Structure 1
Amino acid sequence: MLRALRLAVVLFGQSVRSLARHRGRTTLSAVGIAIAIAAVVWVVAIGIAGAERAAALLQDLGDNLVWVEAGSRNVAGVRTGSKSTSTLTLGDAEAILREVPYVQSVSPQVDGNVQIVSAQSNWSTRSRGIAPAYVAIKRFSIAAGALFNDEDVQLGRNVLVMGQTVRQRLFGADNPVGQIVRMNGQPFEVVGLLAPKGQSATGTDQDDVVMVPYSTANRKLRPAGQTWLDDIVCSAARPDLIEATTAQITALVRERHRIAPGQDDDFNIRHPEEVVKAQMAASETFSTLLLVIASVALLVGGIGIMNVMLASVSERRREIGVRLAIGAKPRSIVLQFLVEAVLVSLFGGGLGLAASLAGSSILEHAVGWSLRIPIESFVVAFAFSALVGVLFGYLPARLASRLDPVEALSSD
């Protein structure tokens, strides 16, 4: 053990002295490895941040969400747009909750745009008529006050909860709970404030909204006679039941709307999580592409190390010849040159890790995400550095060990 330790110290000292004789060349080779290692670490950090962001978006979408939307019809060859039909009703929502076994909760939804006025200001925003179940289905939470209840829905009371964007526009930093605002000329009491939710997967500000009982929205925020629903928001019991739930809802609503086989649906069933999953797949593909590019950079850095070691072998032929002539074994020559190659590579790996830490704040600003560089990446980076040194240092080391001592000593 002591002998092996002494040999390691000697090899390390000889390698450092040899590399120090050509500082410029050694440094340039190490910089090539450093760039590649920093690129790999950044790609890993971006991949982790992207995965965490996508998971958060999926979480925000809803609790196993199945979204039934008033759809479009083909009328005389003309396709009408989404929400252009008036056949989606409260009875459909009640039937879905009652007859589809995989559905655990349902909320009707009535959408609109309103001008909301407070004593201090006014703001144009989206109104959403809902049942209390909507907040849990869509994973909203209440920051202050409380959500209206089923009795408020049954009686069509003028109560609302508002998002943070509306609160800031109307009340600034003040607590709006208990305040009276006006919509469509009618007074509404603010009973709750929604917690911030941020942007949706499609870039919509989810905090720029007021929510009222759907009965109130139908009677007081829409033109007279409009009693149909824009959407029915459902929650399946489990994620693996979403597809079966969709099929059951489709069959039920087609039957209730008396849609004959072969006719178009007058509703759409959407799965917003598919958008996020597509974004996740695109992000994974992009991360893989970046990793390939970083790997190419690592390959280029390895080739740089190999060139440095080949040049070193060429310059030190006489030294190698002397060592072989006095009895040095070929494996000793191989070991010395491998140690030198690994040292250059590890030096580059250390520079790369330092660069990745220094540059992470710049990347955070560029991509708009909070980047977290995992501790494991440091271990992996040094391991890759050592591996590159061994792989690309072996050929020069092998060539050095196979030199003929006579030819080596006679070289200039």
Structure 2
Amino acid sequence: MFIDRAKITVKAGDGGHGMSSFRREKFVPKGGPSGGDGGRGGDIVLVVDSNINTLVDFRYKRKFAADNGVNGQTKNMHGRNANSLVIKVPPGTIVKDELTGDLLADLTAEGQEAVIAHGGRGGRGNARFVNSVHRAPTFAEQGEPGEDRSLLLELKLLADVGLVGYPSVGKSSIISKVSAAKPEIAAYHFTTLSPVLGVVSLAEGKSFVLADIPGLIEGAHEGVGLGHDFLRHIERTRIIIHVLDVSGLEGRDPLEDYHKINNELTLYSERLAKRPQIIAANKMDLPEAQENYNRIVEFMEKEKREVYPVSAATGEGLEKLMWRTMQLLEEYVEEPEQEAEKKIYEAKPEPEFMISRDDDGAFVVKGKEIEKVVAMINFDNDEGTRRFQAIWRRMGIEEALKERGIQEGDTVRIRHMEFEFKL
């Protein structure tokens, strides 16, 4: 089964809580604070493994969560950091944030890693809050929550050469002749519903990966049929072999097929349409092929495209075609990235917090910093509550709420916590 798209949710580990404790030892009548820090939560890391070639495993497991950091202990003992959770993906995997659509990683090389969600920082123990004024703090931080996000995984095949053409022109037969790949072959359209990879070995050190891309049809660039699913896999190929059925036995004109397929490639991606393209004139073993072949050669001379007469049934001409493909690969120069395809990020200062109103009239305060503070404060501790109040005022949230018209007794909601406002 070939699966080339998947949706998963990941949750990095929360940081361990800091400890609030004091030394209790014989002959040490006034032992000071001794609470240790919590450990850091585990990250979520995607790693490329070339032994995997589909995303099928993500059909059965869609949720991944890393371990939390260990809580701090007495005697200034810090909690252990959690190990990262490693998720293996096949080479060619693109990772996007489902919410924003942002590209997070493009994983192509064996062993390549991407930290996709960071674990939370461990909370500080009360020993970290000692100063010249406050000699015996009882307050300790809770662990910072780890990041969580929904991801879209998309697989684009890492093939050097792509076979394209209308259904039933003989692509599967060609790849089965020139490589060890064994695609399903039958005399009806869309026998191949999944891309098939094969390694073409011509001589020692002379080999490349060939992909049999399932048949494209008119409207593929708009997703007609399985258009987007198929076109996605051609994007990484460096050379395109365009297979034409020169026999015309199916009642189609091979030159019309040629124009329609190239139009789909252009509409999907102009860069893709500009890749080097060789014409494989297939089914030359049939008597009807010669007349069409002469027309094709005459036309392709104007297009400056090379035409190779081949027969997938007998194997005639395939070796010459593969050697020419190998030569073009060796001569291929990587295209420079186009400016239009580069994503430009501008540094924009984020507001410290934003205030809005919920349907029930509550004032909702949002902001990365204040939400992190609320998550890490232990409100059961009086010192923790006073610390929050000091941060609240220092950030200017109280004054901002007054400007928005808050009244005594109104509800203020930050993250999962609710507070009653008092003047």
TM range (shorter): under 0.3
TM-score (norm 1): 0.21
Pick the structure with more helix per residue. Answer: 1
Pick the structure with more strand per residue. Answer: 2
